[in-house]
Structure 1
């Protein structure tokens, strides 16, 4: 499988969300949009419980690193979360699998990583993009970097320790650096 990339323009971000909504379900579009805004790894995103949300903050312990992610939720993300909560007041997980509801004796479970991966890959193929679950995190990092040109802020948001890794991660290439030299004439 090829490495997934950051989505580098807002129109494509919106198109992906739209296609996920109509090809699959609004829940998959919610994963996309909330995932973009939280910049979490997919395992942490899918494991969010409603009781991890405290007012306008999300507080979780990242599975991969053990670091605490204490994230301020922006108004769009809060609105999506509140809509999910209103539609499914009995859910434990933000992205709870509907299959668990069909089999009442099973405890609640979040959507599977596999289901999200397949949906993202299929939309990516339709758009001729290398799209995957990590694209959300990479896209958030890329867009923050483009808005601020502050790699330190991006590193802090992604909880990275290496500037080089962060630059490669968000897809800043030599071509991008060359274009910056051309665009900025002093």
Structure 2
């Protein structure tokens, strides 16, 4: 599996959202937009239940680390979440699978990681970018780093334990660091 990238252009971020909506579904565009704002791993993003949200705060236990994460929801995320909840008041999961509704006695399930991966990959092919489910998390980290230049802050947001891992994860290369030294003159 090819390594996916952070999306570095804000215009491309918007284009991906638009293409996901028109080529796949509003639900896929919502996953992209909420995922960008929460910086969660896809397994944790898809597992969000409406009961995990209290006003403007999301509380989850990360599946990979088992750690409890509390995330304040920004206005964009809240707007999308409220719209989804109004449109689907009977849903348990934020991104609930519609296929599961066909099985009357089956419990509700979230959308599958595979379905999201396929949709993202197809848009990535269309725009010539290695796009996957981790792209949302990497993109959030990249843009936070670009706006703050505070790798410690990015590490805490992504809940990483090493600066080197975080820099590699968000796609910051030695060339980027060298450029920062050249451009920032005091």
Normalised-by-shorter TM-score class? over 0.9
Please report how far the alpha carbon of residue 104 of structure 1 lies from its aligned counterpart in structure 2 after TM superposition: 1.8
**Structure 1 outlier segments of 4+, above 3 Å:** none
Query: How big is the alpha-carbon RMSD for the aligned residues of Structure 1 and Structure 2?
Result: 0.7
Distance in 2 (CA, whole Å) between partners of 1:154 and 1:181 is 19
- Cα distance, 1:184 vs structure 2: 1.6
Aligned to 2:62: 62
Alpha-carbon shift at residue 148 of structure 1 (Å):
0.4
Shift of 1:180: 1.1
Q: Deviations over 1:97-126 (max 9, x none)?
A: 000112222111000000000000000000
1:180 aligns to 2:163 (yes or no): no
Within 5 Å, give how 1:1-186 maps onto structure 2. Answer: 1-186=1-186
Aligned to 1:111, the other structure's residue is in SS state coil
TM value normalised by structure 1? 0.98
Could you say what secondary structure the match of 2:43 adopts?
A: helix
1:174 CA drift (Å): 1.2
CA distance in 1, matches of 2:69, 2:136: 16
- Distance in 2, matches of 1:27 and 1:146, equals 29
Distance 1:149 1:185 in 2: 15
1: distance between equivalents of 2:36 and 2:185? 33
Gaps of 5+ in 2: none
Tell me, what secondary structure is at the counterpart of 1:167? helix
Deviations 1:33-80 (A, max 9, x none): 000000000000000000000110000000000111100000110000
Mapped to 2, the partners of 1:162 and 1:99 lie a distance apart of 40
Instruction: Map Cα deviations across residues 67-95 of structure 1 (whole Å, 9 max, x no partner).
Output: 11100000110000000000000000000
Deviation at 1:185? 2.5
Whole-Å separation in 2 of the counterparts to 1:104 and 1:140 = 38
Unaligned runs of 5+ in 1: none
Q: Distance in 2 between matches of 1:163 and 1:179?
A: 18
